[in-house]
Amino acid sequence: SVGAPPNQPDAHGHAAMLLVESLIHGLIARSVISVAEAVEIVEVAVEVKTEIAVDRGDSPAELEKALAILGAISASLQLDMPER
């Protein structure tokens, strides 16, 4: 957020990520989407973020941080995937 000290998490962004992750888990719990579909949604977000990073003027460090967050969410979801 504007005026946030360096290396401090963005409170609005953090809250938004928690909300979205909670929504995804809620949809899975209610069988609205499968875990595999949720992982696919996160993968699409990774692709979109990568594509728009240059247009938005994101630094490589900003992109890496965003992709790390999305990667952590994907890894967390994949732990819940049924064994094949």
Q: What is the pLDDT of residues 54-73, one digit of tens each?
A: 899 999 999 999 999 999 99
Which run of H or E residues covers position 42? helix 35-56
pLDDT over 80 at 34, yes or no? yes
What's the chain's average pLDDT?
Answer: 88
Rounded-to-integer distance, Cα 54 and Cα 41, Å: 21
Each domain of the chain, given as residue ranges in start order, spans: 33-84
